Amino acid sequence: MVILERPFASDMMVETLEKNGIPVLKNEMSQERVLNGKVLSDNEFCEEYKKTGKLYTVSENALGWIYDHIQDKRFLDGISIVKDKSAFRKICRDIYPDFFFKEVNINEMAQLNTDSIVFPCVIKPSVGFLSKGVFVVHNPEEYRKAVETLQQDFAKAGADFPEFVVGKSRFLIEEYIHGEEYAVDAYYDENENPVILNIFHHKFMDESDTSDRLYMTSKGLFDQYEEPFTRFLTNLNNTLHLRNFPMHIEFRYDGKKAVPIEINPLRFTGFCLNELQVFISGQHPMLSFLKGRRVTKDEMWKGREDFTYAFTVLDLPKGDEDKAFDDEKFSADFPGVIDVRLVPDKTSGVAATVFLKVETANVQAFDRIMSLDMHEYMK
């Protein structure tokens, strides 16, 4: 069962839903996109959920409907705990007892005594979406500037996204987690065991960068991180006891321990990054969760051991919001383009997403994407 919502659902996903007869909630997006699929009314969808106990979304904009209609307290409590970053940090206290974090109201942030903060730190919404409202600050002066920007910008963010997505009133201040960042798509099965589907290295230009610009995956990445990430998810579910629960997790790993940044419930990586799996294994990861069609690591990477796959989120540059992304120029400038997807919803701030593939020996070809001037790729 799937709920489609803005800002984006790919043609690939819609075709997968239709081909496999997966029930979809009847709403504005499904009526526009799903022409030959099984579209259910609110009541029909709720009754179907009672039978299957499995629900997947493409966007956390669907959470409002879920809270209003799904009568499953355990399921809803699980969503709330992992969605609320402060509540999640409290859950993880036993695993990371020395980790600093503090939750504050946005109106109280300016009055907070910075002597109580561990620098460097990260400021982010307790309930957030993409990288909106996320700041890395190194000292009290940077903290004050970040607070000023947040107070100015979040009135607009609240207009673009629902309250349960941006959570514009509460913020989490937590110590900066050192190490490389990794994004993981996984789910807890009916026996509460974790199943990892995707592992991506989330690349940044420097420690102040909070963009979603570049993600990469390879067999070497799975070989190195599948075991420690699975171990964390197993330990976490000894407390949460989630089952039939898809999620996207972001970790930082310093070579010794994997520290979670956040968990996003009921979906895999956004803007179809999770569909990089289709270009690797041939199967949509959604089917692993909904249909139990699991693809093992060995099956996924057989014959692809020497390749690295990548996904880039290309932002819509300020001043060029009315222009279109020049996919031909981008494809000419960067090797290994597999697919380009334009994002029509301007409120997302994204012009396009691109899937790429190169031999691992040439992976440095992706480095230029990090500092790309998007004004050069709009027409």
Task: List the pLDDT tens digit at each of the 379 positions of the chain.
Answer: 999 998 888 999 999 999 999 999 999 999 999 988 899 999 999 999 999 999 999 988 999 999 999 999 999 999 998 888 788 888 888 788 888 898 888 778 888 999 999 999 999 887 654 345 688 999 999 999 998 888 777 666 555 545 544 444 688 899 888 889 999 999 999 999 999 999 999 998 777 677 789 999 999 999 999 998 999 899 899 989 999 999 999 998 887 778 888 899 999 998 889 999 999 999 999 999 999 988 999 999 999 999 999 999 999 999 998 899 999 999 999 989 999 998 887 888 899 999 999 999 999 989 889 889 999 999 9
Q: Which domain holds residue 233?
A: 180-377
| Residue 195 CB neighbour total at 10 angstroms | 16
Q: What pLDDT, on a 0 to 100 scale, did the predictor assign at position 130?
A: 39
Q: Is 127 exposed, middle or buried (0-12, 13-18, 19+ CB in 10 A)?
A: buried
Identify whether residues 217 and 363 lie together within a single domain. Answer: yes
Query: 337 with 377: CB under 8 angstroms?
Result: no
Q: In angstroms, rounded to a whole number, what is the distance separating the alpha carbons of residues 281 and 303? A: 10
Identify whether residues 237 and 343 lie together within a single domain. Answer: yes
Q: Is 50 exposed, middle or buried (0-12, 13-18, 19+ CB in 10 A)?
A: exposed
Residue that is last in its domain, among 126, 144, 175: 175
Q: In angstroms, rounded to a whole number, what is the distance separating the alpha carbons of residues 68 and 280? A: 37
Is 193 contained in some domain?
Answer: yes
Is 273 contained in some domain?
Answer: yes
Collect all residues with Cβ–Cβ distance below 8 Å to 286 and sequence separation of at least 6. Answer: 2, 13, 16, 22, 56, 268, 274
Q: In angstroms, rounded to a whole number, what is the distance separating the alpha carbons of residues 306 and 158? A: 44
- Residue 347 is classified by DSSP as G
Identify whether residues 312 and 334 lie together within a single domain. Answer: yes
CATH number at residue 315: 3.30.470.20
Tokens of 231: 């171990």
Residue that is last in its domain, among 151, 175, 199: 175
Total number of domains in the chain: 3
Predicted TM-score (pTM) of this structure: 0.83
Is 47 contained in some domain?
Answer: yes
Is 86 contained in some domain?
Answer: no
Q: What pLDDT, on a 0 to 100 scale, did the predictor assign at position 160?
A: 52
Is 90 contained in some domain?
Answer: no
Q: In angstroms, rounded to a whole number, what is the distance separating the alpha carbons of residues 374 and 165? A: 27
